[in-house]
Amino acid sequence: MNSKGIHKLMSLVCVLVLALSIPSMVVADDDDDDRRCKLQGTWIYSYELPYGMGIARVSMTINGTGDNSGTMEWDFIAPSSHPEVCPSCYWTSSRGVWEKSGPKTYDFTAQSFYVENGVATIAFLSEGTITLMECSTAEIYLEYKIVVLETGNIWPGSYQPAVMQRLLLHQPLPIE
């Protein structure tokens, strides 16, 4: 092969390498987006309580050292169940654990207690899934069991999926 033929062959090889690398660069960018969007952070959402008890607002902080597992803490701002009957009753913050179950999908389990006059009388156990829709929005779905500690009676239930908003640095307006 003469030098012109070698140059043509080398040019063709370079064009092929470049053509084959462009799609992989696009895929790599998509993978980078997935790696940048992690579950960790503070999230705000609201949902309708059962039995016409009103709207609850939730502030959830999700911790972890990677994107595979970690802990979570939920603070509920909800109407009291029966303030006229038990003004000193309240729900504790919920504590839980989470684990990645698929791309942008995380399973969790959490537990809180209902306290009446200083004594835990009900346990609230929840399990569900959080799916990242974008870096700053996610959907949460949960099922729960309400357990009366004294009798062991269990009432299962679920909430409609809710959209969570990530609290951002310098958030311009409160998230409702």
The answer on 155 and 69 residing in a single domain is yes
Q: Which of 17-21, 56-60, 62-66, 94-98 has the lowest mean pLDDT?
A: 17-21
Note whether residue 171 is domain-resident.
no
The answer on 126 and 83 residing in a single domain is yes
Residue 41 pLDDT: 94
Sign of the torsion formed by the C-alpha atoms of 159, 162, 166 and 170: negative
Q: Does the reported pTM lie above 0.85?
A: no
Characterise 170 by phi-psi region: left (phi > 0), alpha (psi -120 to 50), beta (else).
Answer: left
The answer on 100 and 135 residing in a single domain is yes
The answer on 148 and 66 residing in a single domain is yes
Average pLDDT, the chain: 80
The answer on 92 and 13 residing in a single domain is no
The answer on 68 and 4 residing in a single domain is no
The answer on 31 and 88 residing in a single domain is no
> In the chain, how many H helices and how many E strands?
1, 10
Note whether residue 81 is domain-resident.
yes
The answer on 108 and 21 residing in a single domain is no
Q: Binning pLDDT at 50, 70 and 90, where does residue 55 land?
A: confident
What percentage of the chain carries pLDDT values higher than 70?
73
The answer on 102 and 53 residing in a single domain is yes
Q: Which of 168, 91, 101, 97 is nearest to 122 (CA)?
A: 91
The answer on 79 and 14 residing in a single domain is no
The answer on 7 and 85 residing in a single domain is no
Residue 122 pLDDT: 93
Q: How many domains does the chain have?
A: 2
Note whether residue 175 is domain-resident.
no
**What is the span of the domain harbouring residue 56?**
41-166
The answer on 29 and 89 residing in a single domain is no
Q: What is the mean pLDDT of residues 125-145?
A: 95
Q: Give yes or no for a contact between 116 and 106, defined as CB atoms under 8 angstroms apart.
A: no
Residue 82 pLDDT: 58
Q: What is the mean pLDDT of residues 12-18?
A: 38
Q: Binning pLDDT at 50, 70 and 90, where does residue 86 land?
A: low
